[in-house]
């Protein structure tokens, strides 16, 4: 098992921002993050949680503050490729099944990079089948094979199992990180994740 796991859904802008910061943490700590695809809609259903778009609706000041925190995070890490998706919220079921399919086809890392890009850097309506297919083709991925596999029962079952297991471990949203058995939620906890990894390294774990 990897020392650190990143449980993610492409529909989370904070998961994307974390994805951009993770390579620096990997370089500094010598630890590779294990990306675990989960379905955020399934997580919400299993935990009776709601997306921030719903839970913050009608609340005064808090949405504005969260946008400010995002701006600070982006500035702190020198992120230049981030844009709100005008089609948000996007149904990510096929995208997340596609991540499982990409693992089986040996193109997982490229798929993750490209789908995150198409969602949050060059934003598109990726729950439109034609738009998704075109995006995958543009990225040089085998759209036919990936999309065909998203309909396979074992791929569906694998995503469901990932999601259920993640919730059983404590997940209630995305991004969620596990360092060993310790859980950390949100992009702002990446500093704590890095500290935990450094501590483990010092102990020789």
**Residue boundaries of the structural domains of the chain:** 4-202
Query: Tokens representing 96?
Result: 């997340």
Q: What number is the average pLDDT over the span 28-45?
A: 94
Q: List the beta bridge partners of residue 182.
A: 179
Tell me what pLDDT residue 153 has. 98
Quote the mean pLDDT of the chain: 92
* Residue predicted with more confidence, 177 or 180: 177
* Rounded Cα gap, residues 144 and 64, in angstroms: 41
Bin 78: left if φ > 0, else alpha if -120 < ψ < 50, else beta: left
- The reply to whether omega before 59 is within 30° of 0 (cis) is no
121 touches 82 (CB < 8 A): yes
- The 8-class DSSP code of residue 38 comes to -
Residues 6 or more apart from 129 whose CB is under 8 A from it?
94, 147
* Rounded Cα gap, residues 203 and 205, in angstroms: 6
68 touches 189 (CB < 8 A): no
Top CATH class, 4-202: alpha beta
Q: How far is CA 194 from the centre of its chain?
A: 18
Question: Cα 97–98–99 angle (5° rounding)?
Answer: 90
Over residues 115-132, the pLDDT tens digits come to 999 999 999 999 999 999
Query: Tokens representing 181?
Result: 């058995």
How many distinct helices (H) and strands (E) make up the chain?
10, 4
Report helix, strand or coil for 106.
coil
- The reply to whether omega before 89 is within 30° of 0 (cis) is yes
- What is the pTM for the complete model shown? 0.91
Over residues 66-81, the pLDDT tens digits come to 889 999 999 999 999 9
């Amino acid at each position: 098992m990897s020392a650190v796991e990143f449980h993610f859904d492409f529909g989370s802008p904070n998961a994307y921002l974390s994805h951009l910061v993770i390579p620096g943490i990997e370089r500094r700590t010598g630890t590779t993050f294990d990306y675990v695809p989960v379905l955020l809609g399934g997580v919400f259903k299993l935990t009776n949680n709601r997306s921030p778009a719903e839970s913050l609706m009608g609340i005064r000041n808090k949405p504005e503050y969260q946008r400010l925190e995002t701006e600070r995070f982006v500035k702190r890490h020198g992120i230049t490729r981030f844009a709100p998706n005008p089609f948000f919220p996007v149904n990510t079921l096929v995208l997340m099944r596609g991540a499982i399919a990409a693992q089986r086809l040996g193109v997982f890392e490229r798929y993750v990079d490209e789908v995150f890009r198409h969602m949050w850097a060059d934003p598109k309506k990726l729950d439109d089948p034609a738009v998704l297919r075109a995006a995958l083709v543009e990225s040089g991925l085998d759209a036919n094979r990936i999309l065909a596999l998203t309909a396979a029962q074992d791929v569906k079952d694998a995503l469901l199992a990932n999601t259920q297991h993640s919730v059983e471990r404590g997940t209630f949203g995305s991004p969620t990180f596990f360092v060993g058995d310790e859980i950390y939620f949100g992009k702002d906890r990446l500093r704590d994740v890095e500290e935990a990894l450094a501590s483990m390294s010092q102990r020789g774990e």
